[in-house]
Amino acid sequence: MMRWMAALIGFFYYRIPGAFIGFLLGSVIESLIKASPIKFYSNVASREVFELNLLALSAILIKADGKVEEKELTYVRSFFLSQYGKEKTNYIFKKFNDEVKNKTQDTYSLTNFFKTYSRYETRLQILHFLFGIANSDGNISNSELLKLKQIGDNLGINLLDLESIKAMFVEDTDNAYKILEIKPGASLNEIKQAYRTMAKKYHPDKIQSNDPAMIKGAEEKFREVRKAYESLIATKKNQN
């Protein structure tokens, strides 16, 4: 789309030569956006939009079960405080309360923003953060799970990755296998291969974001992957 708009603008000013140059420039810009949408976004708009939309998505999840738990609100604020500091957190929360809180927010628009401007690895960390909110009161309700699955689907998160994140918060005897996205009874070699794959996917360096909150989320997820791997390796050794 951008290449054709640039071509039209070029044609308007310089006719055929201008259209040709405009088309080439538009093609280059499109390639840059596709190659690194999160970096492109950070250059043209404030990161505040990302943070405000993250708060708005958190608010939708908190209200999913029809009640607002103080522990969930505290979790979100504590998370922001630990990542951004008191001054930045107070600023973001005030801006959210003044400009966003009372406006109608819908899950699709918010998740579409993240899907458009964030890498897949960053969206995984967003979903991990949201699961943490839902679990902050010690229990993830069915309505919260449904909302989390909807958000995950809208973010373009595949089912295996969603189940992997869910396994970190919802107790299940096969959690370690789910975290590594393999079937119970997998061989030692399959476990090692799965760990290498997951380590590449969830390594903090993969999210390509300067946002400390997203980096912290990636580090936590990476630790859970490592923990699951070590647990399964220990189990296999004991069986032998």
Contact residues for 228 (Cβ-Cβ < 8 A; gap 6+) = 175, 176, 177, 179, 180
Q: Quick check: helix, strand or coil at residue 190?
A: helix
Average pLDDT (45-67) is: 87
Contact residues for 210 (Cβ-Cβ < 8 A; gap 6+) = 42
Q: Assess whether pLDDT exceeds 50 at residue 232.
A: yes
What's the pLDDT at 214? 67
pLDDT digits (tens, 9 = 90+) for 6-18: 445 544 555 555 4
What's the pLDDT at 72? 92
More confident call, 239 vs 219? 219
Average pLDDT (200-204) is: 74
* Whether residues 228 and 117 fall in one domain: yes
Domain that holds residue 180: 36-239
* Whether residues 64 and 111 fall in one domain: yes
pLDDT digits (tens, 9 = 90+) for 133-153: 999 988 888 899 999 999 999
pLDDT digits (tens, 9 = 90+) for 149-197: 999 999 999 999 998 899 888 876 687 888 888 888 888 888 889 888 8
Q: How confident is the model at residue 33 (pLDDT cuts 50, 70, 90)?
A: very low
* Whether residues 8 and 27 fall in one domain: yes
Q: Assess whether pLDDT exceeds 70 at residue 56.
A: yes
What's the pLDDT at 211? 66
* Whether residues 27 and 40 fall in one domain: no
* Whether residues 18 and 108 fall in one domain: no
* Whether residues 29 and 126 fall in one domain: no
Distance CA 126, CA 122 (A): 6
- Contact between 16 and 27 under an 8 Å Cβ cutoff? The reply is no
* Whether residues 5 and 115 fall in one domain: no
Domain count, the chain: 2
Q: Quick check: helix, strand or coil at residue 125?
A: helix
**What amino acid is encoded at 197 in this protein?**
T
* Whether residues 148 and 91 fall in one domain: yes
Average pLDDT (56-81) is: 90
Distance CA 181, CA 177 (A): 6
* Whether residues 73 and 23 fall in one domain: no
Average pLDDT (210-223) is: 72
Q: Assess whether pLDDT exceeds 90 at residue 60.
A: yes
* Whether residues 135 and 78 fall in one domain: yes
More confident call, 32 vs 70? 70
Q: Which of 69-73, 210-214, 221-225, 229-233 has the highest mean pLDDT?
A: 69-73
Distance CA 4, CA 22 (A): 8
pLDDT digits (tens, 9 = 90+) for 78-122: 988 888 889 989 999 999 998 888 887 889 999 999 999 888 888
* Whether residues 102 and 193 fall in one domain: yes
* Whether residues 74 and 21 fall in one domain: no
